[in-house]
Structure formats: structure tokens, C-alpha cells
Amino acid sequence: MFLPDIILNFRTTYVNKKGEVVADPCSIARNYLRGWFIVDLLAALPFDLLYACNLYSRNTLMHLLKLTRLLRLARLLQKMDRYSQHSTIILTLLMLFFSLVAHWMACVWYVIALAEIEANPSSWDVGWLNQLANKLGYSTVNQTDITTAYITALYFTTTSLTSVGFGNVAANTNAEKVFSILTMLIGALMHAAVFGNVTAIIQRMYARRSQYHTKLRDLKDFFRLHQISKELKQRMTDYFQTIWSLNHGIDPNEVSTD
């Protein structure tokens, strides 16, 4: 998936500093090589295949190079900026961002449980992973399948980030409690940033419709106040609806003046 993207980037036009669209293949290649080529190349490395062939160990720092794939998100957001006026796209991106954060934190929550079991074999039975195994009727943590553990971890992080927290999955060890505190703090920030933007986006999506009903209500109040005849009411209403369908409440004279 990454390799075809690299090939396409060598054939994709770009806009230079002068605002000109560059279509020359050599110029495109030089611009790409000076820009995102190294990041894309590192992200395209088949780490799982290299590990399977014993070309590197997971205990080394080489697997940290996989984090370069996250840098590609910055370029994706840069490309998506041209669609920032579309509320539906921004709303979808915000929900995807929230889901991604919940996924990352679920992975950390699971790693903490494993680390607690390995580091404290005498007190491993107090972690959330063991509590899950007990509820499922398993005698050891190893019997819990990874899918169930991941869904439970994702459930915990999602409820914590949204400040719902039913308490059926709770922190027991000190490490889990510290992580839970951080999760709640991050959730508070996301409430202000993500969900605040979601509210504003939804209001903006229906702003024109609200403006239409407000103007229509004002028009009906005008009819009642001045006792307009039924025939004239119909003509004025038809005119209002026709004008609205053409410009959606935007005054061309006001826009051109600004």
C-alpha cells in the first residue's frame, strides 16, 4: 500500500512557491526527494517481514521506525485542509481522531496489565486483566483471548475519555490508577477540543436552515401586522422561497461590498 503511494508521488504535480502548478517529472522527483520521500520510504519498510526473517529483533530500537508512519498523518491532514469548509468531513475526521486516541490508550492499558503481571508475579491477581479472566471463568490470564482483552480495554478507555465510566472495568494497581488519571485528564481536554468543535460543526450545518425559518417567521409576522391580503401573501411567499432557493440567504451586494 505504501509502495504504490511512493510511485504515485513521483508522478503527482505540486504547487511551487510562486503558486504555479509544476508538471515536469524531473522537478516533481526533486521536490519529492527533498520532502516526504525519506519518511515514506521508512514507513514502507516491511517490519513484520523483517522480523519473521530474523533480520532484526523486536527488542531493538529498530521497531521504533514504525512510528514514522504516524508522520504521514500530518501530510494527510494538510491535504484534507482544502475540504475544511465541508462540515461533514471535519466531523468525520474528529470522530476518527477520537477513535484513534481511544485505540492507542487501549493498547497502553493492555501493556500495563502485562507489565504488572511480569514485574509482580506475587501480586499479579489484582490487575484488571486478571479480573476479566475471573469473570470469564478462566483460571489463568493466558486463557483470555486477545480479542476479548482488546475490546475490554477499548471499552474502558472509551468510557473514561467520555467521562461515562460505569466502573465494571476499574483500575486496581498503582500503575493502572495513574494511567486512569491521565486518561481522565486527556478526556477532559478532548471534551473541550473535540466535542466542542462537534457542537459548533452541527450548529453550522443547520445554520442556513435556521436562518430560513427565522426569515419565514418574520415574513409571516409582517403579514399579520400589516393585514396583507391572501393573494399578496402567496405572491410574497413564493418570491421569498424563489430568492432563497437561488442564493440561500446570501446577499450578493453585501458579499461584493465586503
pTM: 0.57
3-state per-residue secondary structure call for 136-202: CCCCCHHHCCHHHHHHHHHHHHHHHHCCCCCCCCCCCCHHHHHHHHHHHHHHHHHHHHHHHHHHHHH
Q: Is the residue at 190 inside a domain? A: yes
Q: Is the residue at 245 inside a domain? A: no
- The tens digit of pLDDT for each residue in 10-44 reads 888 887 887 788 888 898 888 888 887 887 777 77
Q: Is the residue at 158 inside a domain? A: yes
Instruction: Assign residue 190 the CATH number of its domain.
Output: 1.10.287
Query: Are both 52 and 113 inside the same structural domain?
Result: no
Query: Are both 108 and 191 inside the same structural domain?
Result: yes
Q: Is the residue at 40 inside a domain? A: yes
Query: Are both 201 and 94 inside the same structural domain?
Result: yes
Of residues 119 and 219, the one with the higher pLDDT is: 219
Query: Are both 33 and 130 inside the same structural domain?
Result: no
CA–CA dist 149, 161 (Å, integer) = 18
Examine the fold and report which residue of 186, 205, 224 is the final residue of a domain before the chain moves on.
205
Query: Are both 135 and 161 inside the same structural domain?
Result: yes
- Over residues 128-135, the mean pLDDT reads 70
Query: Are both 57 and 92 inside the same structural domain?
Result: no
Q: Is the residue at 115 inside a domain? A: yes
CA–CA dist 65, 51 (Å, integer) = 13
Query: Are both 184 and 74 inside the same structural domain?
Result: no
Find the domain containing 127 and state its range: 87-205
Domains contained in the chain, number: 2
- Over residues 174-188, the mean pLDDT reads 88
